[in-house]
Structure 1
Amino acid sequence: MMNRRFFMTSLAAGAATLVYAHGVANATPKARNVVLVHGLFADGSCWSEVIPLLQAKGLNVTSVQNPLTTLPEAVAAAQRVLDRQDGSTVFVGHSFSGMIVTEAGMHPNVSALVYVAARAPDAGEDYPALAKKYPTPPASAGIVFDGDEGRLSEAAFLRDFAGDIPEAKAKVLYAVQEPFQKALLTGKTEHAAWRSKPSFYAVSTEDRTIDPDLERFMAKRMGAKTIEVKSSHLSMISHPDAIANLILEAAGHPTERGPHSAASGFRRKAAWLRWLRG
């Protein structure tokens, strides 16, 4: 079993590049459901570009409205949605909600995890301490507080959070951002679902909200099948096809476009087998 061997490849066509993958032993069951969770400075509508692509494939999709109050309350909100799913479910988190995916991903309905430029702590890990090992992302300086309630300033939102989104659209996203409570940032996960479930990760290479090298570290540590997207922090809005394809792959559904097409999949498999044979 070669679960942690990594296969390097470059795919010339596009926005997303496959970087490394789980060993072939970690096949994911086919899922009928997808549950999406948003992070800070956003609400459930941030998945609006990805949702129709998944629905077009016949998947049942739900976007959780993360309360952004405390980690236990955020996890509980996601668990209530997971409880309602009928059968295998791909659990997807963006940004801070990677904490929720890591914790609530232990739910028995969850068949695979997808992290989109997201936090992916280990059980009990101090994520802020981990993040301090990497350069401080520019967006951090743009967080403003009204008492215990935090949000991102408009300038930081447009420049450091949604940098590759047209300004008019980014301003709409800024207008609907949900404030978060300071207490949310103090939470720690008690479990790490990625240690026992197939995991997928989309790194945003132009990210100014989470350092891209920190994203790469977390993806590699969990042995996730990983793509790199030349994108701001909001890759699911600026590159929805790449993110939808990764989710479809996690759900065990064939994809027709981009780096996860059937043809490129066959090429990767052939190259992987040649590598195994030496």
Structure 2
Amino acid sequence: MTPLSRIAASILTAGLLTVASTLTAQAQTAPAGIRNILLVHGAFADGSGWQGVYDILVKDGYTVSLVQEPLTSQVEDVVAVKRMLARQTGPSILVGHSYGGAVITEAGTDARVAGLVYIAAHAPDAGESPTSNKNKMPGATKAVAATPDGFLFIDPAHFAADFAADLPPAQAAFMAHAQMPAAVVAMTAPISVPAWKTKPSWYLVAGADHMINPDLERMYATRAHSHQVEIAGASHSVYISHAKEVAALIEEAAKQASK
């Protein structure tokens, strides 16, 4: 072998070793189990509140998509979830906060869904709706009112106390004035076939939630036989204030649902 050939061989060997090292590193960092996570926001909010959870999941190797529902009807919100499901390669975990839990309960029967994660969320049974269950077991808030054209708002003066009590005041104030109104027809629409009856589920209870009664959250989790965790003192904005704990529960679901 000529000196030039030896140099070329050395360069080729070094390149192959680099590629092999890169592939090994990627294999070591890729999460075990299901890799696709879809985050579904609830009423009075949008997908931006998931950023802390998103950042953790992406750093840990997951493919994360945020569903921006219009909050105009349950049908349209479910369509928005299924639109994002169709863009994934392989099975997915659906994560719903608040009213988003009702949306994933309806959408989660899709064959592409492997598991459900409820974050201080509604998980109605067939024939139930978020509104019907809240009427049976009301939350502490008295600040929600409907507009003449049938959309719900939280009085900004009470938003921080009722929705985001464990967030910085400036952040809560911004959220109060950036809230997405939810249609009354979306909140009152009954569930047809609840996905939690056939799919494994995980549930995080916010212990100081004013929007959804924590006892209602506990009932949902117990009825669905969900793996249940609770964060004492957490507000309805637990998905923001406790992003690490929320992300950890989602990752557990992604690992366990594939077994």
Tell me the TM-score normalized by structure 2: 0.82
In the TM superposition, residue 181 of structure 1 has moved relative to its aligned partner by 1.8
3-state SS of the aligned residue for 2:230? strand
Give matches, 1:185-196, under 5 Å.
Answer: 185-196=187-198
Q: Where do 5+ consecutive residues of structure 2 fail to align?
A: 1-31
Partner of 1:215: 217
Give, in whole Å, the separation in 1 of the partners of 2:120 and 2:251: 17
Identity %: 41
Give matches, 1:162-241, under 5 Å.
Answer: 162-230=164-232, 231-241=234-244
3-state SS of the aligned residue for 1:132? helix
What residue identity is the alignment partner of 2:122?
R
Contact 1:144 1:153 in 2 (8 A): no
Partner of 1:109: 112
3-state SS of the aligned residue for 2:136? coil
Relative to 1, partners in 2 of residues 1:116 and 1:123: Cα closer, same or farther, differing over 3 Å?
A: same
Partner of 2:9: none
Partner of 1:160: 162
Give, in whole Å, the separation in 1 of the partners of 2:151 and 2:123: 24
Give, in whole Å, the separation in 2 of the partners of 1:126 and 1:58: 35
Contact 1:39 1:94 in 2 (8 A): yes
In the TM superposition, residue 144 of structure 1 has moved relative to its aligned partner by 4.7
Find 2:83's aligned residue among 77, 80, 83.
80
In the TM superposition, residue 163 of structure 1 has moved relative to its aligned partner by 0.8
Answer with 1 or 2: which has the greater Rg.
2
Relative to 1, partners in 2 of residues 1:65 and 1:127: Cα closer, same or farther, differing over 3 Å?
A: closer
Give, in whole Å, the separation in 1 of the partners of 2:101 and 2:48: 17
Partner of 1:31: 34
| Matched residues, number | 224
Contact 1:47 1:237 in 2 (8 A): yes
Give, in whole Å, the separation in 1 of the partners of 2:240 and 2:92: 22
Deviation string 1:195-225 (CA, Å, 9 cap, x unpaired) is 1111000000000000000000010000000
What residue identity is the alignment partner of 1:198?
P
In the TM superposition, residue 179 of structure 1 has moved relative to its aligned partner by 1.6
In the TM superposition, residue 38 of structure 1 has moved relative to its aligned partner by 0.6
Deviation string 1:86-123 (CA, Å, 9 cap, x unpaired) is 11211000001111110101111111100000000112
Partner of 1:276: none
Contact 1:113 1:198 in 2 (8 A): yes
In the TM superposition, residue 174 of structure 1 has moved relative to its aligned partner by 2.1
What residue identity is the alignment partner of 1:194?
W
Give, in whole Å, the separation in 2 of the partners of 1:211 and 1:88: 32
Give, in whole Å, the separation in 2 of the partners of 1:42 and 1:146: 20
Taking only aligned residues, the RMSD between alpha carbons, in angstroms, comes to 1.5
Give, in whole Å, the separation in 2 of the partners of 1:116 and 1:143: 24
Tell me the TM-score normalized by structure 1: 0.77
Deviation string 1:132-185 (CA, Å, 9 cap, x unpaired) is 332x22324333525322211112211100011110111222232112222212
Partner of 1:256: none
Give, in whole Å, the separation in 1 of the partners of 2:195 and 2:209: 25
Q: Where do 5+ consecutive residues of structure 1 fail to align?
A: 1-28, 254-278
